[in-house]
Amino acid sequence: MHHHIYHTHGFVLSSKNKGEANKMLSVYTRELGLVRAMVQGVRLHRSKLRFSLQDFSYAKIDFVRGKDIWRITTAGNISTFPIARANKDSIFFIAKVSSLLERLCVGEEANIKIFDDLINCLYILDDEDVSKSSREALEIHLVLRIMDSLGYIGESSTLRDYLDGDINIKKTESLLKDKRSIIGYINKALNESQL
């Protein structure tokens, strides 16, 4: 039986071991949204997919839809964000954002803006010159934009500058002057999401 293969870029949010060598991954993808997919034999030393599909890795991934479950057939590494991965504050940032996406994104619904913002932030984070304050601002900025993309942030002239255009370090650092009010908006949005 022939299965359609979906080619997409994805970021591995988390994984759970299944059986002796398999893993169930939560992958945030550009074209399919949040996908939970089984990858077979990935924990074996000889597995070619092991490196590409570790937690917090960005990869080109091929999915097939099985009867009950998505399966990953192939994957090619794009980036493991080695500098961010070596910094415990950056890893904590990535883990918090990954957990938030898993909580807020239900079903397979693509949101290209969230995906592009996430990957953009990871590349900014993957730089040894990122300061602690920039990292903090980047996290607030990304979470604000995720909440906005999901429809939880209303119209606000204060926020418009941070919600439009691309995320860049200069814009993000200026966000710290409005930090308290922005965190207020985020907390209100999180409460309204009831998740």
pLDDT for 7 equals: 95
Question: In the structure, what pLDDT confidence band is assigned to residue 3 with cuts at 50, 70 and 90?
Answer: confident
Q: Could you give all domains of the chain from N- to C-terminal order, each with its CATH number?
A: 5-79 (2.40.50.140), 82-193 (no CATH)
Taking phi first (over 0 means left), then psi (-120 to 50 degrees means alpha), and beta for anything else, what does residue 33 get? left
Q: Is pLDDT at 195 greater than 70 in this prediction?
A: no
**What CA–CA distance (Å, rounded) separates 48 from 27?**
18
Residues belonging to the chain: 195
pTM (predicted TM-score): 0.93
Q: Is pLDDT at 1 greater than 60 in this prediction?
A: no
Question: Across the chain, what does the average pLDDT equal?
Answer: 91
Q: Is pLDDT at 27 greater than 70 in this prediction?
A: yes
pLDDT in tens, 56-90: 999 999 999 988 899 999 999 999 999 999 999 99
Q: Which pairs with CB-CB distance under 8 Å and at least 24 residues apart come from 84-87?
A: 84/122, 84/125, 84/126, 85/56
Element (DSSP H or E) covering residue 122: helix 112-125
pLDDT in tens, 113-144: 999 999 999 999 999 999 999 999 999 999 99
Structure tokens at 189: 């949005």
Structure tokens at 152: 């939880």
**What CA–CA distance (Å, rounded) separates 51 from 76?**
9
pLDDT for 12 equals: 97
